[in-house]
Structure 1
Amino acid sequence: MHSLLIDHLSTAVVELNHKLEIEYLNPAAEMLLAVSRRRIYGNDLSAAFREGEESIEALMSAIESGHPFTKREAEIECSNGKKLFCDYTVTPVMGSSNFTESLIIELYPRDRMKRISKEDEIIANHETSKELVRGLAHEIKNPLGGIRGAAQLISRAFTDEALKDYTQVIIEESDRLRDLVDRLLGPRQLPKNKPLNIHKVIERVRQLISVETDNQIKLIRDYDPSIPDLVGDESQLIQALLNITRNAMQALMADDNNQNRTIQIVTRTLRQFTIGSKRHRLVCKLSIIDNGPGIPENILNTLFYPMVSGRADGTGLGLSIAQSVIHQHQGIVECNSEPQHTEFNILIPIETTVQEQEKHL
């Protein structure tokens, strides 16, 4: 079993004896489970990972029956507390007396595929909603222009100022609806791309939020200074980050029970990282984390749709526009939320030249 061949497999392999004690891990299993094999040999399985009593019962059943089994999309917890989604196959190894000597567990991580699938879904939903809004905007703006024009003509025919006031209301409301439709469509211009320092963008947003909150929210910076310049439109990126950070700010300010309102801004680089179905050599990851009440579960999956908001007075356009801007930069915005921890992750590829970025537009 403990051969060089198993050691060189990219599949994580764990061997247990009939007492469910760890006999062997190959290097791939060490990396996946973040453990040192020599330190846990002879310990029970929980020294490597845990899944629950049902999984222990299934392993004992496999020892007794000698029948292999496979479990799909299991959530396991490593000894360091890290949670993984994976498929795994359990194969009993029979001895000469037809007795199960050991179990071979092969682990196939699903986290990456699960993330890619989620990103593909976000991108597809964004494209669908964008096309829907474009069609709706066309149907609204055409008659709206006619209504506004007719109101202007009627206003010129009136000599009574009171009647002109009524037509002015029609004109102003038509303009308001037009502006709303324009905001639904998001940025109307292509990004004016040039090399920029992402921390300069963040600092601008941080200053604006500090002024708006009168320093009632603690802003924590955790920057990676080694991040190279990325190619993008500075003003559009400021708007996108401001929309996301302002959402966090408003959630915190509305939480009267929170006496330690905090927004943490973290930047890191990711190498050979896949966004959607495309792999990028280098990606900037920008995380905006708040300790507010969290996003209601009923809107979490539709958060980036236009007109979806968790606040009674919200327009539901801020996050939709932010997603549009980041999408124009070949990136994506993701969100994970639970009470006291809401995290928006903005992923933007770091291209080497403006021309390389413009190929994607």
Structure 2
Amino acid sequence: MKISIGVITKDFNSLEPIDEFLENASKHNHKIYSVIIVYSHGCDFRLVESLEKKVKVFLVKINDVPEIKEQLIMTGLSTENIEILLNCPTLKKYGKVPYGLNRNYALIKALLSGSEVLVFIDTDVYPRVLVKKDDEVKEKEIDFIGKHLEYLKKEEVIITTSDYSGYYIIPPMSFTGMKELFISLQKEDAYELLRNSDEHNCLNLDNDKKRKIFETDKILGGNVAIKLSALKELPPFFSTVYNVNGENVLSRGEDTLLGIKLKKSDKKCIDIDTKIFHNTFGNYPEVPDIKKDKSIKDRFYYTCLGWIGRNPFLNWLKGEDIEEIKNRQKKYIIIGSNAGASYLNDERFLILPEALEISYHNLERVISEYKNTMRAWNDFIKKLEKWGG
């Protein structure tokens, strides 16, 4: 199988963690066909040259891909659909690229360059897991590619994924009104975890030898392998950018769409229960302190806005009663945002109810963008099959 690694970044200015994943693959006798680097702003080309000594590298810059455009024209794809798939107006206007578009660039390049499997990794994850041994948390190396391939090689499996070990994206916190905040963000599970955060500091560990492999519809974009021949049965990634109080914010959950659509298919997504290490806040093993560390507070704020930006579309996609959910969320988010702003001593969180209104107001536009993306993507896959790469 021709396996490619896909990496999404704003600026390509470090070989970490790509070099570690390549070393890990080599150590376990897996040949990597290519590394696809999708970036939107800057690139250190000396690093690319260094990487090219080890592996084939495809460098893909958002809004600047004449070679990909040329190939898409050769497949017979219309100019309009090429624009829908590749044009990123929010990069030109605001310097922001939706997470979904970033990932679709990598998928398109992988499909056009002969890859059979695309493995996405994030820039802050590593091919090892955190395990508890003799009451101590230790790092343990794994056969990362091998773990994915073990199940991806099965005919009925088209995606393999898993969670992360390391600190959870929501750091430890505790305040009255926290439950209401997470209900309004559609993150009830997070509340259950945070309730006891004084016991575990929101540190996730790998199950190590007690792995439980199971079917799932929860796909995590930084630890996922996709069988590219299955894309005719799958949708692309999708997410948007929305404006809150004059600031353009990225909505989250670009991989949620895949999971929902997969539910309706006879193919399988398998959680391989291999929680690769995520250095979430960049300073592991330091316990994250959201009240003292501004960067952690900033990250949580934008994560909240990202979930709010995702949720109306997610609810529509799942066929939920939009008005009923919206009214419930409005009630809870007023309580939760006030409580959060007070606990964190940060007035920015008071904007969350307004962000919720804006996000629901934008729903028709988002649905229209989604339908256009789906139409263009389906046409691309059909044309690609006829063209034969």
TM tier, smaller: under 0.3
Return the structure number with greater strand share: 1
Return the structure number with greater helix share: 2
Highest relative contact order (Cα 8 Å, sep 6+), 1 or 2? 2
TM-score, normalised on structure 1?
0.24
